[in-house]
């Protein structure tokens, strides 16, 4: 059984661990090992995650399968009516079980009563997850290349999904 709950600061270690387990399988053929390590260290620094959770009003969700953490998602409001899905990752050993869809549905169910009209995300242009997002109603609205330092760029599609109230 899948349980989705709001994560707390005690879950930050688990979020980082899951990211370090999931990312090599997700990005191993897209990014160099050096860029992968650089991005994990940059994005999943525990102090940064704590700051996002406590000070930047990012909502962290943890998905557990039979009590074991297997996925997480992070989102926040970025402009009136628009929420950004900053992170969503499902462990490879549990992909295909509908957990990613459950997480996105859960987020939409939180956002609908809050008056949000759009859920936005970035996805690497070579990441096959793009097709998963399209199945869930996301559309590509633009391309974006983001300089993340050290000579590396995130080469993304920006995708949006309308939220119907």
Residue range 119-137, pLDDT digits in tens: 999 999 999 999 999 999 9
Q: According to the model, what pLDDT value does residue 134 have?
A: 98
pLDDT in tens, 30-56: 999 999 999 999 999 999 999 999 999
What pLDDT digit, counting tens, does each position of 70-117 carry?
A: 999 999 999 999 999 999 999 999 999 999 999 999 999 999 999 999
- Residues 6+ away with beta carbon under 8 Å from 99: 2, 63, 65, 70, 71, 90
Dihedral over alpha carbons 78, 95, 38, 54 (to 10 degrees): 40
Structure token digits, residue 25: 């399988």
Q: Which of 69, 98, 92, 55 is nearest to 7 (CA)?
A: 69
> pLDDT at position 164, please?
83
d(CA 114, CA 130) in angstroms, rounded, equals 26
pLDDT band for position 58 (50/70/90)? Answer: very high
What pLDDT, on the 0 to 100 scale, is given for residue 64?
Answer: 98
Question: Per-residue pLDDT for 163 more than 90?
Answer: yes
**pLDDT of 161:** 98
Fold (CATH) for 2-162? Aminopeptidase (3.40.630)
165 — pLDDT class (breaks 50, 70, 90)? low
């Amino acid at each position: 059984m899948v349980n989705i709950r709001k994560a707390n600061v005690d879950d930050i270690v688990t979020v980082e661990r899951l990211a370090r387990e999931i990312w090599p399988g997700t990005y191993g053929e897209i990014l160099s090992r050096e860029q992968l390590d650089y991005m994990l260290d940059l994005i999943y620094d525990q102090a940064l995650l704590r700051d996002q959770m406590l000070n930047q009003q990012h909502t962290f969700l943890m998905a557990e399968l039979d009590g074991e953490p297997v996925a997480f998602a992070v989102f926040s409001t970025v402009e009136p009516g628009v929420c950004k899905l900053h992170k969503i990752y499902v462990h490879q050993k549990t992909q295909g079980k509908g957990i990613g869809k459950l997480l996105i549905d859960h987020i939409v169910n939180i956002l609908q009563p809050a008056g949000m009209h759009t859920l936005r995300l970035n996805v690497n242009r070579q990441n096959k997850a793009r097709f998963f997002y399209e199945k869930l109603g996301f559309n590509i609205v633009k391309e974006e290349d983001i300089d993340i330092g050290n000579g590396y760029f995130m080469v993304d599609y920006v995708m949006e999904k309308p939220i119907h109230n």
